[in-house]
DNA sequence: AATGTACATTGACGCAGATCAACACAAGGC
DNA sequence: GCCTTGTGTTGATCTGCGTCAATGTACATT
């Protein structure tokens, strides 16, 4: 998933996160050429499924624009979102042939893909790429574990505050906002999707958002547009120690 | 974390998971020598903390014997376990200098360690090691995400059944049990530690274990020794589609 | 035997969040 | 205009699990 580090690294190449300075400044140029050769783009509409859990997945890639979600579903229909993919986030599992989760586009989505086997070949010859991928995967692991704390131990109100503060921070770094001043952005998820991320029902999500609004922690314009007058206050509501946690 | 794959790979070298066939059959022998040079062992007693979250961590390594936990704690003391380390599991973050979680030995523990910077150097020269580490990290990521479903969407009873079935399966593969027949093993965690893993209170854990026992899903001898008469039944209780899920 | 400590079980009670249900509002399509 | 569909809000009620508290069990220490 996205974090300040991978994002910063991504600045110099909007369309292909693998090929950014952090990796490629150290790579030989013919390796870069080869990456370029096996690269292609895929476009999805909002609501479309990118891959189904268990299906063969013969590419790896990253999000160029739009938002996708990773979800798991039990037989009886209970679902849990296990990841949120924003621009520059990586998808795919070198060394695996099938997808472990449903990947769904929640907005229109553009992905930059590489066919898996040539990509793996390249990884074998280019240690920096494998190392870079390892770092990105460790970031995702941190994010997933951070989220385990949210799911296991936080109250509904704290969960909502956590989610909003994560989205706010991602959005801020995406637009290179330099700290301070009120943040404003659109929630990229429906109430139901938030509920699936937070392990709540959509009614509880709605109620808690209303409560945070009433208490002045956030302002709402319409149903989606949020402004945050005081980020520290929000993080306090989220139960985070100021500017410490939340790697996502 | 442990799974069938990393475990199988581990069979041929009990003391050092990095140096098993899956990686090293393809490595040059002088690289192996160098790994050997920077390797050392550390021993911890039950209850000792291996590293504190935020502390400098200048090694990576893996569990040789015993059990350790990864936990996160909020300021007010709420804690969530985010990982369970069993023999052959890897700890550490190439490319990071500080620990992200508390690592605590819950039993006497032996770890096989490598100083971080020489290990990283080696990774840079030996693509297979980076790739192997990437695969292991992807396994952990799957496990963490699988656990997000448990934390976010399962009932207390299902959570307990999930935990017991995971421990049962790990134990079975550790002893190379070939399917079928009742499984028997000791729970390696206190009720409190289970509660921290499952996002429950220890009272609820105790109650649900009693309930599963009363309903014949498990048998209990003393407080820790469990036998499972019917694994399929247990997995049904866990809400897993038979032999599908649960990668941990 | 007496005492302490760590771990586990069980009961009584209350509340946060789920569930069920009604309603609001905007955007299309006809 | 009217109807439908997707999305969000709010209320009333129910319940699973947390909280508080008492009790039990096994072992170690003196």
Contact B151 A146 (CB under 8 A): no
Residues A170 and A186 in one domain: yes
**Which structural domain range is residue B197 located in?**
155-238
- Choosing from B123, B150, B177, the residue where a domain stops is B150
Residues A173 and A136 in one domain: no
Longest dimension (CA), chain B: 58
Rg (CA), chain B: 19
Can you tell me the mean pLDDT for B163-186? 80
Distances (CA, A) of A207 to A110, A158, A190, A203, A213: 33, 13, 14, 6, 10
pLDDT band at B25 (very low <50, low <70, confident <90, very high): very low
pLDDT at B215 over 70: yes
- Choosing from B150, B181, B209, the residue where a domain stops is B150
pLDDT at B17 over 70: no
pLDDT of residue B64: 84
- Choosing from A107, A130, A150, the residue where a domain stops is A150
Can you tell me the mean pLDDT for A170-174? 76
Within-domain flag for A16: yes
Contact B95 A142 (CB under 8 A): no
Q: Give the closest residue to D7 (Cα–C1′).
A: A190
Arithmetic mean of pLDDT over chain A? 83
pLDDT at A119 over 80: yes
Does ipTM exceed 0.85? yes
| Residue of B53, B134, B156 to mutate for A, most A C-beta atoms under 10 A | B134
pLDDT at A187 over 90: yes
pLDDT of residue A33: 66
pLDDT digits (tens, 9 = 90+) for B109-147: 999 898 898 888 888 887 777 888 888 899 999 999 999
Quick one: B202 exposed, middle or buried, by C-beta within 10 A (0-12, 13-18, 19+)? middle
pLDDT at A79 over 80: yes
- Among A61-65, A144-148, B39-43, name the most confident range: A144-148
pLDDT of residue B176: 66
Residues B84 and B129 in one domain: yes
- Residue B115's contacts (CB-CB under 8 Å, 6 or more residues apart) are B38, B40, B58, B59
Can you tell me the mean pLDDT for B141-157? 97
- Among A2-6, A26-30, A231-235, name the most confident range: A231-235
CB atoms within 10 A of CB A25: 9
pLDDT at B26 over 50: no
Can you tell me the mean pLDDT for A167-173? 84
Look up the CATH number of the domain holding residue A211.
1.10.10.10
Greater confidence, A74 or B245?
A74
Closest CA to B122 of B40, B58, B37, B56: B37
pLDDT of residue A244: 47
pLDDT of residue A177: 63
pLDDT band at B14 (very low <50, low <70, confident <90, very high): very low
pLDDT of residue A14: 43
Within-domain flag for A83: yes
pLDDT of residue B188: 92
Residues B171 and B68 in one domain: no
Within-domain flag for A246: no
Q: What is the DSSP string of A159-207?
A: HHHHHHHHHHHHHHHHTT--S-S-EEEE--S-HHHHHHHHTS-HHHHHH
Within-domain flag for A245: no
Quote the minimal CA–CA distance from A82 to chain B in Å.
Answer: 6
Within-domain flag for B200: yes
pLDDT at A176 over 90: no
Look up the CATH number of the domain holding residue B59.
2.60.120.10
pLDDT at A156 over 90: yes
Within-domain flag for B13: yes
Supply angle C-alpha A77, B212, B167, rounded to 5: 80
Residues A166 and A44 in one domain: no
pLDDT at A17 over 80: no
Residues B62 and B140 in one domain: yes
Can you tell me the mean pLDDT for B93-116? 91
Residues B139 and B168 in one domain: no
Residues B190 and B208 in one domain: yes
* Bases of strand D lying below 7 A from some protein CB: 7-12, 16-21, 26
pLDDT at A127 over 60: yes
Residues A127 and A180 in one domain: no
Number of domains in chain B: 2
pLDDT of residue A181: 66
User: Is B169 within 8 Å of B246 (Cβ atoms)?
Assistant: yes
Within-domain flag for A80: yes
Contact A134 B135 (CB under 8 A): no
Can you tell me the mean pLDDT for B77-93? 91
Candidate from A92-106, A189-203, B175-189, B226-240 with smallest mean pLDDT: B175-189
Residues A26 and A101 in one domain: yes
**Chain A residue with the nearest C-alpha to that of B122:** A127
Residues A109 and A159 in one domain: no
Alpha-carbon span B223 to B164, nearest angstrom: 14
Residues B30 and B132 in one domain: yes
Closest CA to A57 of A13, A7, A96: A96
Greater confidence, A41 or A20?
A41
Within-domain flag for B43: yes
Candidate from A45-54, A100-109, A125-134, B176-185 with smallest mean pLDDT: B176-185
Can you tell me the mean pLDDT for A209-238? 94
Contact A72 B133 (CB under 8 A): no
pLDDT digits (tens, 9 = 90+) for B32-42: 666 777 888 99
Element holding B220 (H helix, E strand) = strand B219-221
Using a CB-CB distance cutoff of 8 angstroms, which residues of chain A are in contact with residue B80? 148-149, 152-153
pLDDT at B13 over 80: no
């Amino acid at each position: 998933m996205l974090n300040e580090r991978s994002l910063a690294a991504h600045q110099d190449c909007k369309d292909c996160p693998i090929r950014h300075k952090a990796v490629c400044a150290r790579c030989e140029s013919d390796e870069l050429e080869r990456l370029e050769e096996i690269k292609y783009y895929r476009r999805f509409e909002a609501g479309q499924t990118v891959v189904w859990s268990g299906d063969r997945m013969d590419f790896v890639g990253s999000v160029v624009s739009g938002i996708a979600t990773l979800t798991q579903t039990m037989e009886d229909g209970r679902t849990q979102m296990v990841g949120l993919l924003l621009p520059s986030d990586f998808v795919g599992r070198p060394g695996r042939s099938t997808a472990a989760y449903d990947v769904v586009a929640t907005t229109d989505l553009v992905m930059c893909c590489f066919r898996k086997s040539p990509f793996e070949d390249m990884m074998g010859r280019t240690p920096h790429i494998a190392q870079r991928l390892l770092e990105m995967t460790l970031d995702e692991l941190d994010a997933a574990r951070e989220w385990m704390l949210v799911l296991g131990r936080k109250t509904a109100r704290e969960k909502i505050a956590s989610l909003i503060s994560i989205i706010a921070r991602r959005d801020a770094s995406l637009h290179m906002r330099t700290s301070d001043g009120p943040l404003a952005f659109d929630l990229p998820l429906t109430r139901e999707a938030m509920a699936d991320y937070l392990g709540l029902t959509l009614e509880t999500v709605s109620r808690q958002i209303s409560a945070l609004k009433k208490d002045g922690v956030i302002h709402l314009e319409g149903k989606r547009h949020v402004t945050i007058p005081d980020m520290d206050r929000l993080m306090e509501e989220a139960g985070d120690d100021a500017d410490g946690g939340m790697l996502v």
